[in-house]
Amino acid sequence: MATETRDERDEPEAKDEGKGKGRKKSPSRRTSPALFVRQVIAELRKVIWPTRRELITYTTAALVFVLVMVAIVSGFDYGLQKGVYAVFG
């Protein structure tokens, strides 16, 4: 399972954290596309990605769950259809 933790030294310290507590950013100020991409890449580096084995396990579990739910809903649908045909049919 993905239970790995990171050291504090792996995490860059947040700048301006706790400074200017009451100060708000101007709503007209926008982030440039280059800064946005850099921020996205920085956040993706923080993600602990699953191993191939974990990914296969999670995918298999999700597909089995979906197939079971499809079977249950199809069974209810078939039963209701037969009931409606018996009553009104």
- Divide the 89 residues of the chain into consecutive groups of 10 and give the mean pLDDT of each group: 57 55 68 94 94 97 98 98 93
| Distance in angstroms (rounded) separating the CA atoms of residues 14 and 36 | 16
| Distance in angstroms (rounded) separating the CA atoms of residues 55 and 40 | 22
Of 50, 51, 49, 45, nearest in space to 10 by CA: 45
Of 18, 12, 17, nearest in space to 38 by CA: 12
Task: Look at residue 89 in the predicted model and tell me its pLDDT.
Answer: 80
Task: Look at residue 6 in the predicted model and tell me its pLDDT.
Answer: 57
| H-state helical runs in 1-89 | 33-46, 52-88
Say what the pTM is.
0.52
How many residues belong to the chain? 89
